[in-house]
Amino acid sequence: MSYGNSPALILDSGSGGLTVWGEIVRHLPQLNTFYLADFAAYPYGLKSEQELTDRVILLLQTLVPVIRPGLLVVACNTASTIVLDTIRQQFPFPVVGVVPAVKTAASLSRNRRIGVLATPGTVQRQYLEDLIHQHASDCQVTRVGSNALVGWAEDVSCGQLPDLELLQREIVPVLEAECDQVVLGCTHFPLLKPFLLQISPHIGWVDSGQAIARRVADLLTMAGASTLPGESSVRHVAVSSGTKVNPEWENGVARLGFHQVMSLSI
């Protein structure tokens, strides 16, 4: 397998996974990528586990024969807690999921008070509880489940600024708990990080993007992929599910460095 012949497929319900994509291409600038924003099924956090599993499998059954990825990144915390095992059973390539950076936040916390911002579904799942028990059992952990943050992050990806007063209200629990580290437990939320820092610059806002990029690099190296730039030019393709692409989103991803933007009716 080589980077040129086998792009990395990165999947999310919207723009959140672009934060993961950005870390991956920074670590691996020679890697071809194919990013799918599943706007037709956005947001994943409101779907049942069966609905979400069926949707992701349908997308992969449609795309994999066409783009032949060498690796898949499920760049969505909600989907990662539900569909990874099913994907691995049905497809031959390595699959990387997203794990809320609870371990990192706990290791950085000085006052042993950490927060987790995520979707309501992620906050309620036993998966998160197990992470906290394993890595942050000595910490006071404040959980905030929010769909509003997801929507505001999507707005940012299209060039709209969030209302800082509304944003501050949404994260009041972690502010009142005096958390010194807060996990951004949804890949959408790093899009809000500049604004969260304006509200509370003393808090460490922790996401898992860099860890995912390192994992992708390790898997590609183990698979025998070259770690040196190839002769052919690198290509980044962004796809939006649905009948047409939002022009603001298209402009936004073009500014990030995508060479082609298209829609997928599915």
Q: 11: which residues sit within 8 A by CB, 6+ positions away? A: 17, 36, 38, 56, 59, 60, 72, 73, 74, 75, 76, 79
76 is catalytic: yes
Q: Checking DSSP bridges between strand 33-37 and strand 95-96, what pairing results, if any?
A: unpaired
Which H or E element spans position 152? helix 148-157
CA–CA distance, 71 with 94 (Å, rounded to integer): 5
Cα 152 to Cα 120, 144, 254, distances in angstroms? 15, 15, 20
Cα 233 to Cα 5, 31, 33, 62, 258, distances in angstroms? 12, 10, 12, 26, 13
Cα torsion 222, 224, 230, 233: sign = negative
Residue 211 tokens read as: 């860890």
| DSSP codes, 10-29 | EEESSSTHHHHHHHHHHH-T
158 is catalytic: no
Cβ-contact 87, 56 below 8 angstroms: yes
Residue 158 tokens read as: 């299209």
The greatest distance separating any two alpha carbons of the chain, rounded to the nearest whole angstrom, comes to 54
Please list the active-site residues: 76, 186
